[in-house]
């Protein structure tokens, strides 16, 4: 069965650019590049991946595009642009001619304003994506979910995907609020969800596969088989069990799905969403 990893990162570590990789994240406080993950993908039967921005600069786009040119298993790029910039239309037009650039992301979870994504200037930039067939990755935390529903509703024809289940409080076994808000967002037909980034929201050293089951139940029930896709969040997942750990959780969970649903989850949905 074809398997695609819809969410990976690469970086050449720099303490200023990558200030978010603090000393307590020593495992990933180094260069992490395609040659580091290639053997892991091969070993686990993963045919390719989508590389997602980790730095908010257009330099990052060029870096990721350069890696994709050298490594055939990188099937698409989710980059970054300043959606509030006066020249946003020009920048999107530029990237629309680069086949490997599939969509964009902004690190909304780090913005001081909880309703940042509803900023009129930001929304004006987002409104320009659809005409160029770009997708948008929503990176948020549970408190942002009600804003995300308003945001997605404002652009009914724009493809959105929620990264990391909106980072629920798995370590605290808390679902209240998050669960209701996930159902509300999933009701937007234009929003999909990546089954990714879960292990880093759990107890890094002591999580068990069953810790994730209630959250997976909610997401699969809310979004349905046609709107969920696998993502490892490598190398960030190395903080809490690594690639094999992430894979074991989802493989066990999706074993109960039909063959068609498995094919959609492992590759079909990501290929359709990103145009791979």
Q: What are phi and psi of 229, to 5 degrees?
A: -145, 150
How much is the pLDDT for 66?
Answer: 98
pLDDT 10s digits, 92-116: 999 999 999 999 999 999 999 999 9
CATH classification of the domain holding 173:
3.20.20.140
Q: Which two tokens stand for residue 149?
A: 């529903």
> What are the structure tokens assigned to 141, written together?
């935390």
Q: Which domain holds residue 188?
A: 4-274
Global pTM? 0.96
How many domains is the chain built from?
A: 1
How many residues can be counted in the chain? 276
Quick: pLDDT tens for 148-173: 999 999 999 999 999 999 999 999 99
Q: What is the pLDDT of residues 12-66, one digit of tens each?
A: 999 988 989 998 899 999 999 999 999 999 999 999 999 999 999 999 999 999 9
Residue 11 backbone zone (phi > 0: left; psi -120 to 50: alpha; other: beta): beta
User: CA-CA distance, 149 to 11, in Å (whole number)?
Assistant: 31
């Amino acid at each position: 069965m074809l398997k695609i990893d819809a969410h990976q990162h690469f970086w050449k570590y720099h303490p200023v650019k990558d200030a978010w990789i603090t000393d307590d994240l020593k495992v990933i406080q180094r260069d992490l590049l395609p040659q580091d993950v290639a053997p892991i993908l091969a070993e686990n039967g993963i045919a390719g991946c989508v590389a997602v921005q980790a730095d908010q600069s257009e330099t990052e786009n060029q870096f990721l595009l350069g890696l994709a040119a050298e490594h055939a298993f990188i099937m698409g790029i989710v980059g970054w642009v300043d959606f509030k910039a006066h020249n946003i239309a020009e920048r999107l037009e530029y990237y629309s001619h680069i086949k490997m650039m599939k969509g964009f992301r902004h690190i909304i979870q780090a913005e001081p304003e909880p309703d940042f994504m509803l900023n009129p200037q930001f929304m004006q930039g987002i409104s320009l994506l659809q005409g160029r067939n770009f997708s948008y990755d929503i990176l948020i935390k549970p408190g942002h979910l009600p804003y995300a529903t308003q945001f997605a509703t404002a652009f009914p024809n724009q493809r959105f995907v929620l990264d990391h289940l909106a980072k629920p409080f798995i370590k605290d076994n808390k679902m209240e609020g998050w669960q209701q808000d996930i159902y509300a967002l999933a009701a937007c037909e234009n929003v999909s969800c990546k089954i990714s980034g879960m292990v880093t929201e759990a107890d890094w050293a002591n999580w068990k596969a069953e810790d994730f089951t209630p959250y997976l139940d909610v997401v699969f029930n809310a979004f349905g088989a046609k709107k969920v896709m696998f993502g490892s969040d490598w190398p960030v997942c190395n903080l809490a069990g690594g690639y094999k750990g992430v894979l074991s959780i989802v493989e066990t969970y999706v074993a109960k799905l039909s063959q068609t649903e498995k094919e959609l989850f492992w590759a079909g949905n990501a290929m359709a969403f990103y145009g791979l």
